[in-house]
Structure 1
Amino acid sequence: MAVLPIVRFEDEIVEIVERNTVIVIIGETGSGKSTQLSQILHRRGFTRSGAIAVTQPRRVAAVSVSRRVSQELGVHLGEEVGYAIRFEDRTSAKTCIKYLTDGVLLRESLSNPVLNQYSVIILDEAHERSLNTDILLGLMKRLIKMRSSNLKVLITSATLDGEKVSVFFSGCPVLNIPGTLFPVEKLYSTEHPKSYIESSLRTALDIHIREPPGDILIFMTGQDDIDKMVKKLEERIQNFEEGSCMDALVLPLHGSLPPEMQVRVFSPAPSNCRRIIVATNIAETSLTVDGVVYVIDPGYVKQRQYNPSTGMYSLDVVQISRVQADQRAGRAGRTRPGKCYRLYPSSIYQEEFLDATIPEIQRSSLAGTVLYLKSLDLPDIDILNFDFLDPPSRESLADALRQLYLIDAIGEDGMITNVGRTMSELPLEPSLSRTLIEANQLGCLSQALTVAAMLSAEITLRPVQSKDTKRKPQTNMLPDGSGWGDHIQLLQIYESWKCVDYDPDWCTEHNLQVRSMKFSRDVRKQLSQIMQKMAKGPIDAQSSANQRESQEYTTLRKALCRGYGNQLAERMLHHNGYRTLGIRSQLVQVHPSSVLEANEDGQLPDYVVYHELINTSRPFMRNVCAVDMAWVMPILKKLEKMDVNKLSGGFEPEKCEQPLQQPQAPIKEANERTTTGGSVEDRIQAARERYLARKAKK
């Protein structure tokens, strides 16, 4: 195996680390920075006074890189070398090199703000500009002032603007390390193809037939595209005449793959066989696959974006940046001169691609981030002026403050509450953390733990289309949520699985992914251990009795209403949809996959909570559950008293880039909403009485 470029710089790296507290290392794709830097520092004695922490933005990378390093050092994974990701920790007292997601390191800083268990902290893949990495950059800037004598911070990246980071850290040194071992020829298309999947397929087959041996790496936007491409490639290759070309092994690579399938990607191909790897952008920099000689780059990536003015996520296929395009091309020059087939004209690369990817912190909901910063309880942290490398908009920060206020995580003065402090200790998004706390008070914690685990594991129900097109798609006789909605259905599915002793065959029979269901069980176990400290009694025994007493899952729905206090919606009387309540007003519909049921008159519930708003063909609420008006009223009363200036710590609106708008009340319907005064409760009750009166006349 060729010596990785970074190894040639070992003496220079050690010297610069010894002389400086913060160092930026720009190592091109394939330089070996993720696997070798920690080993160099360990070899040169930097683990004598503490462990080396290496953060990764992706769970798959944290696991695979730690596995590779443990193999290279000849130690068992989980001993001297280990990893920690959300809901999984494979480390021990002996661990001196620890790979972990950036989110896990943030959680560790809550219980130990100075992170004195580490002598070196390496923020790897910083160019991906993940939300958590950007927060860590700000925290490291504070931490080095407190631990400048016994802490080294290394920011490593393939393409990060090193000078920008150097300025952020008061002029710290920048070390550049070359990465691509061999030249890569870049071949552009003359025009943009109508279908990047079909164009990628044709290009891959053409390479396979005409080009010398060497693996092919194809970039796709997501798991669905990967599955389609893998299937099409396998079908076409099987139809080739025997002996007309070498064999091919087609392998997917994405974050949802089971570990045993991820490992296959890093194993060399059999003799006289070419590997064709179909991957998401996880293969741009996070993971290096040896043997790739040909890269196919359609020029797209799937990107999740949040709009704070609507509270809505969209998952869009967008053009990549020039930085990403260069990273993809670099994957072809690892073992010998390679080729990158860019399925777009060079003019698109030069004129339309952005220089770099928009940082995640500028396109995400910041409720969890703000809760974390508040929970640090540091008097000099100003949320709206926190030292970010690229600050988010004031609108996004104010949106997060309002969300946290409505679920009791912060008070009217913007200070974190006891509830908020407890929420910050849970490795969940704020809405689910708040649900668990409320469920503990109401005596339905076991059920809420199950729902939180199922949502965290992102259990996907795969409907089977009925022959009757007028009927909803069926899901292989799965529980139906008793008419209350998707959260209840997830609970029922898990409990049905539990009744058959977690039999994997049951999952297969009901079209559920076994790995995801097993993961939900592991998540639930860990959440149970965390919540046990605050539970009033035995978790499972308590809620089992509760469920028998209430078949309508009333207490669980009430806990969900409290947890999703900023994610409420009221059914519109004159529209086929709902109007969101809380901090913004938006007309949306229930997602077609929901099991929420209408009553005998065909009417959906008056009020629902939703786990997520997503804009696809139109605005939809996903994972919806019916709630009662009596539970909604206290939240709407809080909304009337909300003052954004106080929540944010008293900043002056005129200092903002744009004036912050107070959240609008739900838009009133003609002839159905009064325009005069009266409390929210009075107006809603009046509207409900008019609706019931009309219904009685039918």
Structure 2
Amino acid sequence: MAQDDTSLTGGSCFEEQSPCCSDSEALSQGDRDYDDILELNQFDGLPYSSRFYKLLKERKELPVWSAKREFMDTLAKGQFVVVSGFAKSGRSSQIPQWCAEFCLSVQFQHGMVVCTQIHSQQAVDLALRVADEMDVNIGHEVGYTIPLETSCTNETVLRYCTDDMLLREMMSDPLLERYGVVVVDQAHQRTVATDVLLGLLKDIAMQRPDLRVVLLSAVAPGPKQLALFTGSALPVIHLETPDVGEVVYSSTGDNYFCAALRLVLEIHQSEELGDVIVFLVTTQEIDLAHDILCHEGRSPPGQGELLPISVHPGQTGSLQILGEEETTRTRRVFLTCSPNEDSFWAISSINFVIDTGLERRHIFNPRIRTNSVIIQPISTGRSECRRQLAGPTGRCFCLYPKERQLPAEVRPRIMESDIISTVLFLKRMEIAGLGHCDFIDRPDPGGLMQALEELDYLAALDNDGNLSEMGIIMSEFPLEPQMAKTVLASCEFDCVSEVVIIAAMLTAPSCFGAPPVDLKPEAIQSYVKFQHPEGDHFTLINIYKAFKQLQQDPCEFRKERWCQDLFLNHAALLVADALHSELTDTLKRIELPISAPAFGSRTNTINIKRALLAGFFMQVARDVDGSGNYFILTHKHVAQIHPLSAYGAKSPKLGLPEWVLFHEHTFSEDNCLRTLTHITPEEFVQMVPQYFFYNLPSSESKDILQSILNREASLCQKGKSHKEPPEDQTTDRCVVQ
């Protein structure tokens, strides 16, 4: 039997339980025509279709195929396997299938297979592709789980999911006892969720000797990754790297953007076939490049059309579908700044890659509790990933000199990110018995201390630093801790219906579209229709309620047209609606009260603000000069209001409030406060934990708040009456905080 046919059964160790053929037939089938043999698919018991054999022939051409025997033998002998190979090697689609064959060979005694991905759409695309290759139904033998969507059953043998969804699953199944093999794909990306997952898997593997852990990486893992799981040498399988076509280096200085667009137009004017992918740096560059190419890329008669396609990071929509489109008369130009080259694995028509060699990274500053943005060179591994997309016959244009020294590896996100949600999760895992997460790289000490301090302020920790009852409930919600605390406070203040809408709208992508520059005034004018006098959080409720009313219309086109006319993002609103349902279900599951809607009443308005302050008291600012310069209480930084806010300079409907609560501060991009609501200093001092207030740096704003506290304390001592009795204020603070 030829090696390729033998390897289909997993090698000699697995021929007896081969999912494709029995041991008595194994030697005779290799030289036969597959179409003449009635084979049963052991995953569903049905005969294989003709498409299975067609796809099998394609699979055998993948670079990963020649490593199947080695992989199956290594998987049988030890707990850990590392496989390095680029996306087009087939690692993400073939190796999980082989793991399913391994589990089948032992009758799934130790569980099924789960394969993690960084992005939701990749998990879906891979599940669809693998179900097709395995000749089974999606949602049955092969399925996927992503935020807000699940397509699998208890009998699913191979499940693709995002790494954060697998982490949430560990809250109820800390040892992952449903799975015999855990495949962690894209380990080279070093996201926070991936690093946390790997750290916990080390502990789980020690408690479960039967568990197999497979790491898939585009580049060879570094010494730290190899040393994570075992002191001995970790088995690493290096997949064959196909030859890359021509690589052209050039020095463009800071003018990489214009150079990239000129190259696109030159390629299109040539007679060479193939699509183009351009790696830019920012989303603004993507939008600008799209507009320029639409205007400049008009083709002369007889030449194919130039079609620019914007691919923003994290956008919804399948690139696999794009890869299947007919492109005979159209040259597509994919414009992206995505840090994830693997997402383009399905587009085989790419023949030209234009690489600027730069990337934008968000670096969290724990001192001012906001992100800074830096632009830096990409790593050597990422540069190689981009070159591989051109294939052996394509060309890659690197818009930087060949002698430039690129960083050897990407800096792990856990050292640069806000990790408050991660710390809350790890505290929850301590309760579940996984008390130790052995990170490949330790989080930034300042960021770790800031996260613990904020969780303490939110009453998520007890006096011993363990998770409090409040913290346990907060961890049940798929929300940032501050927003989870706001939702819990809304139960106390009887405004759950409204706050859940706010939480869903702020957790989903922004509902505000990105109109062309010439239409921005019209977009701002359309948003004015939804503006609420109390602020942006209330405006989001108005938008959501209008969208829900529209949902009753059975015509999908009219819904999308309504959003388009008002410059709203239809996909983002659908995500918010799904999140709203999930949050409501979570509240019901943990038996928390859901109040009846009362939006518009004065009492409801006050209660919404109190709930928001319960979670976001650390994000309060004051207009210090009456002209829109807002002083942020926690770190004395001055910022302005974002133009899309109800209080923005171009929105004459509302005046500038003195005190605001804000949801986000974009420090590096525009130094703006986003999503603001007017509050009073009296409301702030009522809800703020006293130990947080006394830790605020000295300022005029703090002195104003202190005088209010002193006045209220004095009135309490004299027994004077208040609109709202002091004992009620204390009760609110104690119950919620």
TM range (shorter): 0.7 to 0.9
Summarize the alignment of residues 603-642 of structure 1 with structure 2, pairs less than 5 Å apart.
Answer: 604-616=656-668, 618-633=670-685, 636-640=688-692
Q: Secondary structure at the match of 1:113?
A: coil
Confirm or deny: 8 A CA contact 2:663 2:674 kept in the other structure: yes
Across the aligned residues of Structure 1 and Structure 2, the Cα RMSD in angstroms comes to: 3.3
In 2, Cα distance between equivalents of 1:364 and 1:610: 20
Q: 2:268 corresponds to which residue?
A: 208
Q: Secondary structure at the match of 1:191?
A: coil
Q: 2:218 corresponds to which residue?
A: 158
The alpha-carbon distance between structure 1 residues 454 and 111, as it changes in their structure 2 partners (threshold 3 A), is: same
In 1, Cα distance between equivalents of 2:348 and 2:521: 51
1:419 is aligned, of 465, 470, 478, to 470
| Corresponding residue pairs, total | 644
What amino acid does structure 2 have at the position aligned with 1:80? E
1:428 is aligned, of 436, 456, 479, to 479
The alpha-carbon distance between structure 1 residues 184 and 624, as it changes in their structure 2 partners (threshold 3 A), is: same
Confirm or deny: 8 A CA contact 1:5 1:177 kept in the other structure: no
Residues 196-227 of structure 1: CA deviation (Å, up to 9, x unaligned): 33211211222233363233222133444333
Residues 348-381 of structure 1: CA deviation (Å, up to 9, x unaligned): x32xx32222211111111101100111234987
Matched, 1:516 2:548: no
Q: Secondary structure at the match of 2:170?
A: helix
The alpha-carbon distance between structure 1 residues 179 and 436, as it changes in their structure 2 partners (threshold 3 A), is: farther
The alpha-carbon distance between structure 1 residues 441 and 172, as it changes in their structure 2 partners (threshold 3 A), is: farther
Q: 2:300 corresponds to which residue?
A: 241
Q: 1:667 corresponds to which residue?
A: 699
The alpha-carbon distance between structure 1 residues 20 and 553, as it changes in their structure 2 partners (threshold 3 A), is: same
Summarize the alignment of residues 208-287 of structure 1 with structure 2, pairs less than 5 Å apart.
Answer: 208-210=268-270, 212-238=272-298, 240-243=299-302, 245-259=303-317, 262-271=319-328, 273-281=330-338, 284-287=341-344
Q: 2:5 corresponds to which residue?
A: none
In 1, Cα distance between equivalents of 2:493 and 2:703: 34
1:402 is aligned, of 453, 456, 481, to 453
Residues 515-547 of structure 1: CA deviation (Å, up to 9, x unaligned): 21122111111111111234555x3xx332x32
What amino acid does structure 1 have at the position aligned with 2:443? P
In 2, Cα distance between equivalents of 1:71 and 1:469: 44
What amino acid does structure 1 have at the position aligned with 2:541? L
Matched, 1:440 2:491: yes
Summarize the alignment of residues 100-139 of structure 1 with structure 2, pairs less than 5 Å apart.
Answer: 100-139=161-200
Summarize the alignment of residues 323-472 of structure 1 with structure 2, pairs less than 5 Å apart.
Answer: 323-333=381-391, 336-347=392-403, 349-350=404-405, 353-378=406-431, 386-462=437-513
Q: 1:198 corresponds to which residue?
A: 258
What amino acid does structure 2 have at the position aligned with 1:146? Q
Give the deviation of 1:609 after TM superposition. 2.0
Matched, 1:499 2:517: no
Q: 1:526 corresponds to which residue?
A: 582
Q: 2:153 corresponds to which residue?
A: 92
In 2, Cα distance between equivalents of 1:172 and 1:56: 26
Confirm or deny: 8 A CA contact 1:465 1:474 kept in the other structure: no
In 2, Cα distance between equivalents of 1:32 and 1:488: 48
Higher relative contact order (CA 8 A, sep 6+): 1
Confirm or deny: 8 A CA contact 2:512 2:567 kept in the other structure: yes
The alpha-carbon distance between structure 1 residues 590 and 381, as it changes in their structure 2 partners (threshold 3 A), is: farther
TM-score of the superposition, structure 1-length normalised? 0.84
Residues 251-301 of structure 1: CA deviation (Å, up to 9, x unaligned): 333345443x63432215433544433233355124412132221101222
Q: 1:693 corresponds to which residue?
A: none
1:479 is aligned, of 509, 530, 538, to 530
What amino acid does structure 2 have at the position aligned with 1:621? L
User: Which 5+ residue runs of structure 1 have no aligned equivalent?
Assistant: 643-662, 687-698
In 2, Cα distance between equivalents of 1:179 and 1:279: 27
In 1, Cα distance between equivalents of 2:393 and 2:238: 19
Residues 381-415 of structure 1: CA deviation (Å, up to 9, x unaligned): 778xx521011111000110111122221134322
What amino acid does structure 1 have at the position aligned with 2:454? Q
2:124 is aligned, of 49, 63, 72, to 63
Q: 1:564 corresponds to which residue?
A: 616
TM-score of the superposition, structure 2-length normalised? 0.80
Compare CA radii of gyration and give the structure with the larger one.
2
Summarize the alignment of residues 536-555 of structure 1 with structure 2, pairs less than 5 Å apart.
Answer: 537=593, 539=594, 542-544=595-597, 546-550=598-602, 553-555=605-607
Give the deviation of 1:467 after TM superposition. 11
Confirm or deny: 8 A CA contact 1:226 1:252 kept in the other structure: yes
Q: Secondary structure at the match of 1:346?
A: coil
User: Which 5+ residue runs of structure 2 have no aligned equivalent?
Assistant: 1-57, 554-558, 715-737
Confirm or deny: 8 A CA contact 1:28 1:177 kept in the other structure: no
In 2, Cα distance between equivalents of 1:43 and 1:466: 54
Q: Secondary structure at the match of 2:342?
A: coil
Q: Secondary structure at the match of 1:357?
A: coil
Confirm or deny: 8 A CA contact 2:127 2:142 kept in the other structure: yes
The alpha-carbon distance between structure 1 residues 142 and 224, as it changes in their structure 2 partners (threshold 3 A), is: same
The alpha-carbon distance between structure 1 residues 262 and 28, as it changes in their structure 2 partners (threshold 3 A), is: closer
Confirm or deny: 8 A CA contact 1:60 1:255 kept in the other structure: no
In 2, Cα distance between equivalents of 1:211 and 1:163: 46
Give the deviation of 1:682 after TM superposition. 3.0
What amino acid does structure 2 have at the position aligned with 1:322? T
Confirm or deny: 8 A CA contact 1:163 1:174 kept in the other structure: no
The alpha-carbon distance between structure 1 residues 475 and 176, as it changes in their structure 2 partners (threshold 3 A), is: same
Q: 2:67 corresponds to which residue?
A: 9
What amino acid does structure 1 have at the position aligned with 2:577? R
What amino acid does structure 1 have at the position aligned with 2:92? S
In 1, Cα distance between equivalents of 2:647 and 2:388: 48
Q: 1:696 corresponds to which residue?
A: none
What amino acid does structure 2 have at the position aligned with 1:487? H
In 1, Cα distance between equivalents of 2:118 and 2:435: 25
The alpha-carbon distance between structure 1 residues 501 and 412, as it changes in their structure 2 partners (threshold 3 A), is: same
Confirm or deny: 8 A CA contact 1:478 1:510 kept in the other structure: no
Q: Secondary structure at the match of 2:89?
A: coil
Q: 2:26 corresponds to which residue?
A: none
In 2, Cα distance between equivalents of 1:317 and 1:380: 41
Q: 2:136 corresponds to which residue?
A: 75
Deviates more, 1:303-312 or 1:214-223: 214-223
The alpha-carbon distance between structure 1 residues 620 and 294, as it changes in their structure 2 partners (threshold 3 A), is: same
Q: Secondary structure at the match of 1:481?
A: coil
Q: Secondary structure at the match of 1:416?
A: coil
Confirm or deny: 8 A CA contact 2:200 2:434 kept in the other structure: no
Deviates more, 1:229-238 or 1:407-416: 229-238
The alpha-carbon distance between structure 1 residues 444 and 217, as it changes in their structure 2 partners (threshold 3 A), is: same
What amino acid does structure 2 have at the position aligned with 1:166? L
In 2, Cα distance between equivalents of 1:109 and 1:379: 9
Deviates more, 1:114-123 or 1:152-161: 152-161
Residues 413-447 of structure 1: CA deviation (Å, up to 9, x unaligned): 32211111111111111111111111122111111
The alpha-carbon distance between structure 1 residues 636 and 445, as it changes in their structure 2 partners (threshold 3 A), is: closer
Residues 482-506 of structure 1: CA deviation (Å, up to 9, x unaligned): 2x22111101111122233455143
In 1, Cα distance between equivalents of 2:177 and 2:252: 55
